[in-house]
Chain A
């Protein structure tokens, strides 16, 4: 190839690389939620992975702990839309929301500073139901049977050995309080012994429960909530609970005197309306009720709501979000139309904002659980970049010293090629908008040492040819020619390994494979093409080039 063409190609590649890496303000058309929006950013177009810029990675699976989900793939598709809506509203720059495999959603949120909140927004089911509290005293009627069932089962379990029974029952109870075992060790012991004395006795259930002011409302001392929850989940107990009713705990606690209580409500199982008709929700602060979320329903929802509430005048309506009753159920004074509100029960305005957001974006069709979460603070990411760059500079310095010391003039050519190698590799990463991760950065630093291998192979070959008494020009030609097969074979086999790594690696490791691949490509170009061209320039210019080569 003509020397001028070679130089032109190298300069062209340099220009393209500089252009690819130049910081720019880009107006990007990004597809979000099915529609295109414009976005402007100014940056060096090298994408940093979450581990370098800080942020959060979430992998969400379908939660089947409360019942199997028949068509998971479809459920995930629907959930994906909802999650995407919510993330878009949440306001994260360049979020990633995608389906992975058949039954997983991947969410990447770069640069967020409150991971817990973001996760709540993603994960909250946001299933809203309005249910009328029971006014038939169904629970009272069931109480004798409930107590009887508990008495039977507990006694049956306790009979084999009285001492052992006491032990197991107190152990079981302690596990209920495990969340604050240590702090309340004394009180737990007291409670458990007291409870173990009465477990299986008369009124096992009814003595834990007090009737509230409105129909269907019951209070349980906060310390007994765990026990009652356990009772309510026992199959024998569920069998004797009033049919057509459901029991829902309230989201907040109530303090009466100096004791803390949590209420539960017996509700008509069939909701009068659900959140599917909701068109809008916004947070607000009411002077009497604190923070609230006001919602609006569409025409059909409003019509139904009006009809249903009209039928239930003077009844109490519980607003149930994800199976928790939000605030004190209000009495229905007159038929309600399109508007309603949810009281937040003393939670802050941000909680109201987030609730409004998830209500607007719609409820999740299936519950999701977190399968994998990685959260990296922004400062840690910054720190990693600094360390990576330091290591990179030191690696370059060491390699440059070794090459110059050992190969002198030829080493200098290799060093110049190494500079181009770094430029080209970064440009390839930018050009393919590959994501640079911490392992990727490490791989890049490592590749600086490995990149000169091709040069070393060629130089050693040239030395051999010179030793055989060939002229400088021939030795260079032969050196490149003979080293070629080794360079190609070794690089291709490394590239194949990197490709496998890319295919089977996840996130950060994938970033590593990408840098490795970009590095291999760039090192072959620089070692074979660029250094060869340097030699050609030198052979053309230097008078003594034909007789001696500093290598």
Chain B
């Protein structure tokens, strides 16, 4: 039997202050960087035009740029995308977006026309065009924010039902931590915030929550056994007991993420980066955010001396609550 990290007894939570320092520093670094310069939002959120072009032979980028400038398309961002014949052209500035409110496609049409005029009809192929008006961009932005907040709310309710409010709050706080670290990561990596990246962020939230739940499930079980130990010890024990599972699942998930990162192409790469980081931050937050926060909540609103409103209602139910599997037997 091959075993890793079997029967460990690390005192994980002892290091929480150090870890909190590290993660807060990381988040502050990201937010500070955000304060200096706004993040790169994709055209889905800002409105704008994105074209993926393939040239018959590697073009002179300066020439492409000057052709666009002459056509009155200023501030276009031209980037190599994959091989040296493939490029993306991105026009996202305020003036361009304003002109798109008349019709989102007009800039894309101009770009295609002037480039074909300059380089010849067969020398440029448009592989992909996305043009979004500012209004649609605002709708996407609102949708993304609602989606993240709503998923928090639903999670909070579900976990409150399945565990109790303390666990739910700790899990949601740990997950919020992941939102911040992931945003900091996106900023520091200069990744563009697109709809796909937001989907990646929500996947990370789900994944991180998953990880927290696995540990909390063990905590719930260990609490039920009624050992004579503090919650601090129970948490540490639960983290240690679930450690082999955590490691193995993170490894297989990372294997999939790696496959995406390396083989799935440019469009998916930002998503894969978010996911790769999400594995790290999700694991981290389950141990170093969820657990200390749960401890803190327990100190503030202790369950044993049930004087407080929340604990007086929550404690009896959580004591009598049993997992469905146990109940069926």
For chain B residues 302-329, which have a beta carbon within 8 Å of chain A? 323-326, 329
- Give 1 or 0 for each of B210-243: 1 = CB within 8 Å of chain A CB: 1001100110010000000000000000000110
Closest residue of A by beta carbon distance from B125: A377
- Distance (Å) between the CB of A504 and the closest chain B CB? 4
B131 at the interface (CB under 8 A from A): yes
Of B2, B218, B249, which one neighbours A453 at CB under 8 angstroms?
B249
Q: Is the CB of A438 within 8 A of B252?
A: no
Within 8 A of B (CB), among A415-448: 438-439, 441-443, 445-448
B interface footprint on A435-469 (CB within 8 Å = 1, 0 otherwise): 00011011101111110110011001001100100
Name the segment of A312-320, A389-397, A530-538 touching the other chain.
A389-397
Residues of A close to B2: CB separation below 8 A: 405-408
- Asked if B297 CB lies within 8 Å of chain A CBs, one says no
Chain B minimum-CB-distance residue to A507: B195
- C-alpha spacing A506/B147, complex, angstroms: 12
Contact B253 A450 (CB under 8 A): yes
Q: Would you call B105 an interface residue if the criterion is a C-beta within 8 Å of the partner chain's C-beta atoms?
A: yes
B252 touches A371 (CB 8 A): no
Instruction: Report the stretch among B21-29, B33-41, B151-159 that lies at the interface.
Output: B151-159
User: A59-B136, A377-B126 in contact; A516/B196 too (CB < 8 A)?
Assistant: no
Contact with A along B126-163 (1 / 0, CB 8 A): 11111111011000100110110011001100110010
- Shortest CB–CB separation between residue B234 and chain A, in angstroms? 16
Q: Which A residues are CB-close (under 8 A) to B259?
A: 391-392, 394-395, 398, 445
Q: A183-B70, A457-B245 are contacts. A446–B256 as well, Cβ < 8 Å?
A: yes
Residue B191 is within 8 A (CB to CB) of chain A in the complex:
no
A492, B158: Cβ atoms under 8 Å? yes
Task: Check B255 against A402 for contact (C-beta < 8 Å).
Answer: yes
A482 contacts the other chain (CB 8 A): yes
Q: Are A493 and B210 in contact (CB under 8 A)?
A: yes
Q: Please report which residues of chain B, range 234-284, place their CB below 8 angstroms from some CB of chain A when the two chains form the complex.
A: 241-242, 244-245, 248-249, 251-260, 262-265, 267-268, 271-272, 275
Cβ-based interface call for B75 (8 A): no
Q: Is the CB of A452 within 8 A of B252?
A: yes
Q: With A369-B103, A452-B249, A500-B147 known to touch, is A438 a contact of B268 (CB < 8 Å)? A: yes
Cβ-based interface call for B165 (8 A) = no
- In the complex, residue of chain A having the shortest beta-carbon distance to the beta carbon of B245: A460
Are A508 and B325 in contact (CB-based, < 8 A)? no
B52 interfacial by beta-carbon distance below 8 Å: yes
In the complex, which of the residues B128, B130, B140 has the most CB atoms of chain A within 10 Å of its own CB atom?
B128
- In the complex formed, the residue of A with least CB distance to B147 is A504
Q: Is A328 an interface residue (CB 8 A)?
A: no
Q: What 0/1 pattern do residues 491 to 506 of A give for CB contact below 8 A with B?
A: 1111011101101111
Determine whether the beta carbon of B104 is less than 8 Å from that of A438: no
Q: What separation, in Å, do the CA atoms of A111 and B244 have in the docked complex? A: 48
A391, A406, A446: the one contacting B248 at CB < 8 Å is A406
User: With A374-B129, A380-B128, A484-B324 known to touch, is A445 a contact of B256 (CB < 8 Å)?
Assistant: yes
Q: Give the distance to chain A from B267, nearest Cβ to Cβ, in Å.
A: 6
A380-B127, A446-B253, A500-B154 known; A484 vs B325 contact (CB < 8 Å): yes
In the complex, B185 has a CB within 8 A of chain A: no
Q: Which of B72, B128, B207 contacts A450 (CB 8 A)?
A: B207
Q: B132 to chain A: which residues have CB within 8 Å?
A: 371-373
- Min CB gap B51→A, angstroms: 9
Note all chain B residues with C-beta closer than 8 A to A274. Answer: none
A-B contacts, CB under 8 A, total = 256
At the interface with chain B, which of A72-80, A174-182, A209-217? Answer: A174-182
Q: With A371-B136, A398-B255, A442-B272 in contact, do A496 and B158 touch (Cβ < 8 Å)?
A: yes
Chain A contacts for B59, CB-based, 8 A: none
Asked whether A395 and B195 contact (CB < 8 A) given A390-B263, A443-B203, A489-B217, the answer is no
Given contacts A442-B268, A496-B155, A500-B154, contact A119 B105 (CB under 8 A): yes
Chain B: CB-nearest residue to A383: B265
Query: Which of B71, B103, B195, B264 is within 8 Å of A391, CB to CB?
Result: B264
Is B97 on the interface with A (CB-CB < 8 A)?
no
A373–B272 touching, CB < 8 Å = no
A551-B325 in contact given A395-B260, A402-B252, A496-B154 (Cβ < 8 Å):
no
Shortest distance in angstroms between B187's beta carbon and chain A's nearest beta carbon? 21
Asked whether, in the complex, the Cβ of B205 is within 8 Å of the Cβ of A497, the reply is yes
Given A116-B109, A370-B105, A373-B131, CB of A387 within 8 Å of CB of B136: no
Question: Which residues of A are found within 8 Å of B275, using beta-carbon distances?
Answer: 446
- B140 (CB) vs chain A CBs: closest residue: A506
Per-residue CB contact flags for chain B residues 77-110 toward chain A (1 = under 8 Å, else 0) read 0000000000000000000000001111100110
Asked whether any CB of chain A lies closer than 8 Å to the CB of B183, the reply is no
Q: Are A508 and B195 in contact (CB under 8 A)?
A: yes
In the complex, A83→B241 CA distance in Å?
61
Across the interface, name the chain B residue whose C-beta is closest to A504.
B147
Contact B199 A448 (CB under 8 A): no
Q: Does B291 contact A (CB under 8 A)?
A: no
In the complex, what residue of chain A is closest to B2 when comparing beta carbons? Answer: A406
Give the nearest-CB partner of A510 in chain B.
B199
Q: Is the CB of B198 within 8 A of A395?
A: no
Q: Which residue in B109, B133, B214, B324 is a CB contact (below 8 Å) of A371?
A: B133
Given contacts A384-B265, A488-B324, contact A398 B199 (CB under 8 A): no
B213/A489 in contact, CB under 8 A? yes
Contact between chains at B206 and A403 (CB < 8 Å):
no
Docked complex Cα distance between A281 and B209 (Å): 61
Residues of chain A with a CB closer than 8 A to B260's CB: 391, 395, 442, 445-446
Q: Does B202 interact with chain A (Cβ within 8 Å)?
A: yes
Chain A to chain B: the 7 pairs with minimum beta-carbon distance, closest first: A449-B256, A485-B323, A484-B325, A182-B70, A398-B255, A395-B259, A504-B147
23 contacting pairs across A/B (C-beta < 8 A): A181-B70, A369-B101, A371-B133, A374-B128, A376-B127, A377-B127, A388-B264, A406-B2, A439-B199, A446-B253, A449-B255, A452-B252, A460-B248, A492-B158, A493-B209, A493-B210, A494-B206, A497-B154, A497-B203, A500-B150, A500-B151, A504-B143, A512-B196
Which positions in B face A, CB cutoff 8 Å?
Answer: 1-3, 7, 52, 69-72, 101-105, 108-109, 125-133, 135-136, 140, 143-144, 146-147, 150-151, 154-155, 158-159, 162, 195-196, 198-199, 202-203, 205-207, 209-210, 213-214, 217-218, 221, 241-242, 244-245, 248-249, 251-260, 262-265, 267-268, 271-272, 275, 323-326, 329
